[in-house]
A and B are shown apart, each in its own frame.
Chain A
Amino acid sequence: MSAPAMTRRPVPTRSTATGPSRTTSPRGKRPRNDFRVALVFIGPAALGFIVFFLVPTLRGIWFSFTDQNLIGAGEFIGLENYTRMFADPLFWNSLLVTLEYVFINIAVQTVLAVGIAVLMHRLTQSVVIRGIVLLPYLVANVVVALVWFWMFDYSTGVVNVIIDTIGLDRMAFFGNEATAIPTIALINVWRHVGYTALLIFAGLQTIPKELYEAGAIDGASEARMFRSITLPLLRPVMALVLVITVVGSFQIFDTVAVTTEGGPVDATRVIYYYIYQQAFQRFDLGYASALSVFLLVVLAVVAFIQLRLLRSNRSDLA
């Protein structure tokens, strides 16, 4: 598929150095230039990137300065969307709710994932067990949300039936302002913890076994080995895993959309859902774009900070 395109456009200066690269002599290949071939290889991806990532990014920033709606074109209105945003209590609320979600989700998930990874690492290499741990991740967010929505149902959900049998009070997991976000956060821990655990598990595989053997000979306890060997050597992997999971966690939408729809009151109106509502229920694409510019900046800052931490940890395994 590359042959016709290669012969089409003569590349001005470098063409003598490259030619079709088959003729390059093995010795003088340093200034090799595969520009025309590369163009063919990268063409479709570059097209997709420009049309669906690059241009929309610029367009999204432009939208945030306009009163773009869902139907027509928008007019430039300067910083109006941004001033409105900073004065919008619902926006600040959505930010707070999102942060609460991210905090609970990441804290619980990270601790559990490390625990599961270490358990697997020290107990078994079984592929079956690792497969089971990964199962929830395979299922769509929406499916996971609905299954737990059913299991947490107030009157007939199995969790409340069990709670009732034990003699405790039934809980309205999704229906209570105080428990809605923790509930959603824990549901998504259930879905993602196995995947995260397997990433950490892969990191654990890189720690030399001899360290543990030496520790065991010295009579170190498992807890001691965890603190002195596993944790320090795992830090670079952990930093990377955290970047991925935190950025992903900010994008909580699916679970909210199919269970609480932002309620009760505004208790679960996370920022992603608020943006969605502004754009597709209020048809205010301009304002929604301003909100997502803000989200973009927040995520960039979060990722930047974490990557800095990652770099400073790089030497740990050396």
Chain B
Amino acid sequence: MTGTLQGLPVSSAPISQTPRPRPRGRRIRPGRVVAWIALALVMVITLFPFYWMLRTAFSSNSALFLDPGNPLPAEFSWGGFRRVLGLATPEEIAADGGSSGTLDFWLYLRNSMIVASAITAGQVFFSSLAAYAFARLHWPGRDVVFFIFLTALMVPPIFVQLPNFVLIRDLGLLNTLPGIILPFLFMTPFAVFFMRQFFLGINHEVEEAARLDGAGHARIFFGIVLPMSRTPLFTLALLTFITAWGEYFWPLLVGRSDEARVLTVALGIFRSQTPQTGPDWAGLMAATLIAAVPVLILFLLLGRRLIDNLGYSGTK
């Protein structure tokens, strides 16, 4: 499946129709025009909220209320960003009609980076190791253990997170970054399943040859299997990072205090501190932008493989 997707030249099909060797232009034309319009509409609805986030973040907050329909930033201003990053003076905040909360999004950005990176590195690595044992090693009880692993997919996260909260509390890790990271560090059933699916498909002969040459399992895994698995590893890492970055429930439980607060939790607090009258929309959108941009940049750099491999993750 992936092969066919990757084999396609990227730029072959932007606006022009897919070159398909079939008699065209008979009666399909109007239908295709309508279809293209529908697809364009989907694009617009998808992209507009991003634009509006940007437009609002760069507006002066007080001007937003006077000019709510302006498609461009209402009175262009860096005020929103300056406020959420703690750079604005009190006079500046008052003049801009912003809220004077004490949120420090630099700190939360750093925390989110640490949490998401640690979870991604640990989860992908340990899950790959386990997946290899499930896919390529022979040991008694293997399939039973794998099945037990898989059943965890069906358990709603909240179910284990209540007891996990008690555990993290008893370990004294409440309001620490390790407390947020730990439950996700070693595995998720999905990650193990995902990598196992790929390892199952690797040709046995490669390993057999290496084994005859005297390579042990560690050598085979690190020297042959992992390098061969760059694409699924990449895909899994990106998916894991996106999930960890966006996680709200668990850090809300164990990371409320300032020093262990991640971006999502901070956004929730920002929103709940927002006054009913004259909320700081510009500041809020600047903060959401700060939370959105790192993942979007990562996607711009690495997204191609994710798109090409999505079929894997969801289905096979």
Binding site for B on A (CB under 8 A): 1-3, 20-22, 24, 26, 32-35, 37-38, 41-42, 44-49, 51-57, 59-60, 63, 68, 115-116, 119-120, 122-144, 146-151, 153, 155-158, 161-162, 165, 190, 194-195, 198-199, 201-203, 205-206, 213, 216-217, 221-222, 237, 240-241, 244, 247, 250-251, 253-254, 257-259, 261, 272, 275-276, 279-280, 285, 288-289, 292-293, 295-296, 299-300, 303
With CB as the reference atom, state the residue of chain B lying closest to A130.
Answer: B307
18 residue pairs bridging A and B, Cβ less than 8 Å apart: A33-B140, A34-B137, A46-B130, A51-B167, A56-B162, A59-B163, A60-B159, A120-B39, A127-B304, A127-B307, A156-B64, A198-B310, A205-B4, A280-B253, A292-B162, A295-B156, A299-B154, A300-B154
Residues 287-316 of chain B: 1 if any A CB is under 8 Å from the residue's CB, otherwise 0? 010011001100100011011101110110
Q: Is B214 an interface residue (CB 8 A)?
A: yes
Residues 229-269 of chain B: 1 if any A CB is under 8 Å from the residue's CB, otherwise 0? 00000000000001001111100110000000001100110
Q: How far is the CB of A203 from chain B (nearest CB, A)?
A: 7
Q: How far is the CB of A41 from chain B (nearest CB, A)?
A: 4
A52 to B158, CA, bound (A): 12
Q: Is B106 an interface residue (CB 8 A)?
A: no
Most buried by B among A47, A138, A165, A222: A138
Q: Is B157 an interface residue (CB 8 A)?
A: yes
Residues 142-154 of chain B: 1 if any A CB is under 8 Å from the residue's CB, otherwise 0? 1001001100101
> Hey, which chain B residues are within 8 Å of A124, CB to CB?
13-14, 18, 39
> Hey, which chain A residues are within 8 Å of B211, CB to CB?
21-22, 24
> Hey, which chain B residues are within 8 Å of A41, CB to CB?
129-130, 132-133, 137, 217, 221
Q: How far is the CB of B263 from chain A (nearest CB, A)?
A: 8
> Using a Cβ cutoff of 8 Å, how many contacts connect chains A and B?
331
Tell whether, in the assembled complex, residue B156 and residue A292 are in contact, meaning their CB atoms are under 8 Å apart. yes
- Complex partner residue of B214 from A22, A54, A63, CB under 8 angstroms: A22
> Hey, which chain B residues are within 8 Å of A45, CB to CB?
126-127, 129-130, 149, 186-187, 192
Most buried by A among B46, B127, B284: B46
With CB as the reference atom, state the residue of chain A lying closest to B271.
Answer: A258
Tell whether, in the assembled complex, residue B137 and residue A241 are in contact, meaning their CB atoms are under 8 Å apart. no
CB within 8 Å of A: which B158-215 residues: 158-167, 182-183, 185-187, 189, 192, 208, 211-212, 214-215
Q: Given contacts A146-B288, A147-B285, A292-B162, is CB(A161)–CB(B13) below 8 Å? A: no
Q: How far is the CB of B86 from chain A (nearest CB, A)?
A: 20
- Complex partner residue of A296 from B42, B155, B164, B189, CB under 8 angstroms: B155
- Complex partner residue of A257 from B165, B183, B248, B311, CB under 8 angstroms: B248
Q: How far is the CB of B273 from chain A (nearest CB, A)?
A: 12
> Hey, which chain B residues are within 8 Å of A216, CB to CB?
22-23
> Hey, which chain A residues are within 8 Å of B186, CB to CB?
44-45, 47-49, 52
A35 to B291, CA, bound (A): 45
Tell whether, in the assembled complex, residue B268 and residue A20 are in contact, meaning their CB atoms are under 8 Å apart. no
> Hey, which chain A residues are within 8 Å of B52, CB to CB?
147, 150-151, 158
Q: How far is the CB of A300 from chain B (nearest CB, A)?
A: 6
Q: Is B275 an interface residue (CB 8 A)?
A: no
Tell whether, in the assembled complex, residue A140 and residue B248 are in contact, meaning their CB atoms are under 8 Å apart. yes
- 19 A-B pairs besides A60-B163, A136-B46 with CB distance below 8 A are A33-B140, A35-B140, A42-B129, A44-B129, A45-B186, A48-B186, A49-B187, A123-B32, A135-B46, A135-B47, A138-B296, A139-B246, A156-B68, A161-B68, A195-B310, A205-B5, A216-B22, A222-B31, A241-B314
A32 to B284, CA, bound (A): 60
- Complex partner residue of B311 from A63, A135, A149, A199, CB under 8 angstroms: A199
Q: Is B69 an interface residue (CB 8 A)?
A: yes
A77 to B270, CA, bound (A): 40
Tell whether, in the assembled complex, residue A161 and residue B69 are in contact, meaning their CB atoms are under 8 Å apart. yes
Q: How far is the CB of B165 from chain A (nearest CB, A)?
A: 8
- Complex partner residue of A132 from B43, B149, B155, B291, CB under 8 angstroms: B43
Tell whether, in the assembled complex, residue B291 and residue A56 are in contact, meaning their CB atoms are under 8 Å apart. no
